[in-house]
């Protein structure tokens, strides 16, 4: 009963945050103008953006097959891992509590026979590489000549923001390396400085998962492959935003797409309703405002991009769930309590 109440409060908080951010994004929008921008969209460019954005999910297979390996070091088959990826991202769009990663790892374990702990560890390492890649690309983009002159974030020049982001990425990488290299010492430090035993346990479990996942990267060639695919994935994802700029006739270049992507990736990390509704629109509107794009046109872009890229992977995930016989909601409930 206590767990159910906690979940209900979590869901209410997430929905409240989504509603607040939606209000913020729409507060200065002229709905008639926004609808006009949606009606005048260049469908060819928008379709290209949707195709590129959807291509990102099959590309994730290449990196995941480097991280999730059999006990003999060999890769798992392509199709079961694809079903797991499609179901996971569809679950993020349809289910509360960010159930997608749980669905993906449980489905991978069920369909390939991989250990559940290994599947979770591989996803944990994915998150680390994604975060470091996004911060790195964002820092580079903020220093590129294509940025608007005199651009600042919260009154801080972008050069300072970029330098800080780069230093934070290096610090995070260094901390991650020390934690993985000295897990017992890290566990002791966490237990001393974190007041909540429950939070401390979750942090320790996270560290152990990352350490297990990094175990498969002892091969320099495989590590280089993971790094390369991480960069490719996020450059392709930025390309989809750039193509959508043309669809909505926005005067923003590819560098701006990289900036938008970086801010958006961290913006949707806040608790929200399924599908990242609210944080998605708010983050895009905030970034486009830096480029002088009005609220109505920015919201039209955000809503148009969100809706059109939402549909393909959701349908593919539902199809995979039907094909494999693994229901999305049922799969989400199969994870152990501490997963």
Cβ-contact 274, 93 below 8 angstroms: yes
Q: For residue 75, give the 3-state DSSP assignment.
A: strand
Whether residue 209 is predicted with pLDDT greater than 70 in this model: the reply is no
**pLDDT value of residue 183:** 65
Tens-digit pLDDT profile for residues 249-281: 999 999 999 999 988 988 888 888 888 999 999
**pLDDT value of residue 2:** 47
**pLDDT value of residue 11:** 81
Mean pLDDT, range 76-103, rounded to an integer: 91
Please state, rounded to an integer, the average pLDDT across all residues of the chain: 84
pLDDT band at 4 (very low <50, low <70, confident <90, very high): low
Rounded CA gap, 142 and 200, in Å?
35
Whether residue 336 is predicted with pLDDT greater than 60 in this model: the reply is no
Cβ-contact 102, 335 below 8 angstroms: yes
Tens-digit pLDDT profile for residues 80-90: 999 999 999 99
92: nearest Cα among 252, 241, 306? 306
pTM, entire model: 0.84
Tens-digit pLDDT profile for residues 212-222: 666 666 677 88
Cβ-contact 107, 83 below 8 angstroms: yes
**pLDDT value of residue 277:** 92
Residue 69 β-bridge partners:
75
How distant, in Å, are the alpha carbons of 30, 261, 301 from that of 285? 14, 12, 9
Of 55-69, 135-149, 163-177, 290-304, the poorest mean pLDDT is in 163-177
**pLDDT value of residue 124:** 83
Whether residue 334 is predicted with pLDDT greater than 70 in this model: the reply is no
274: nearest Cα among 252, 244, 306, 322? 306
Tens-digit pLDDT profile for residues 23-39: 999 999 999 999 999 99
């Amino acid at each position: 009963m206590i767990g159910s109440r906690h979940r209900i409060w979590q869901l209410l908080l997430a929905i409240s945050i989504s509603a607040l951010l939606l209000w913020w994004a729409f507060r200065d929008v002229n709905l008639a103008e926004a609808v006009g921008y949606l009606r005048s969209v260049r469908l060819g460019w928008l379709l290209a953006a949707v195709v590129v954005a959807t291509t990102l999910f099959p590309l994730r297979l290449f990196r995941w097959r480097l991280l999730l390996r059999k006990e003999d070091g060999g890769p798992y088959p392509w199709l079961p891992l694809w079903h797991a990826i499609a179901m996971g991202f569809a679950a993020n769009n349809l289910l509360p509590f960010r159930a997608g990663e749980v669905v993906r790892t449980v489905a991978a374990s069920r369909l390939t026979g991989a250990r559940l702990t290994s599947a979770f560890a591989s996803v944990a390492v994915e998150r680390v590489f994604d975060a470091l890649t996004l911060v790195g690309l964002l820092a580079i983009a903020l220093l590129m000549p294509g940025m608007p002159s005199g651009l600042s974030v919260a009154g801080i020049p972008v050069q300072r923001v970029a330098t800080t982001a780069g230093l934070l990425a290096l610090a995070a990488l260094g901390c991650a390396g020390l934690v993985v290299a000295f897990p017992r010492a890290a566990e002791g430090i966490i237990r001393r400085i974190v007041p909540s035993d429950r939070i401390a346990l979750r942090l320790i479990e996270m560290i152990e998962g990352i350490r297990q996942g990094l175990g498969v990267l002892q091969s320099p060639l495989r590590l280089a492959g993971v790094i390369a695919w991480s960069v490719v994935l996020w450059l392709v994802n930025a390309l989809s935003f750039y193509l959508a700029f043309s669809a909505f006739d926005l005067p923003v270049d590819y560098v701006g797409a990289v900036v938008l992507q970086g801010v958006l990736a961290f913006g949707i990390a806040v608790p929200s309703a399924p599908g990242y509704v609210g944080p998605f629109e708010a983050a895009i509107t905030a970034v486009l405002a830096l480029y002088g794009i009005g609220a109505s046109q920015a919201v039209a872009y955000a809503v148009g991009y969100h809706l059109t890229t939402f549909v393909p992977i959701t349908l593919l995930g539902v199809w995979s769930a039907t094909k494999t016989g693994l229901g999305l909601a049922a799969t989400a409930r199969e994870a152990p309590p501490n997963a």
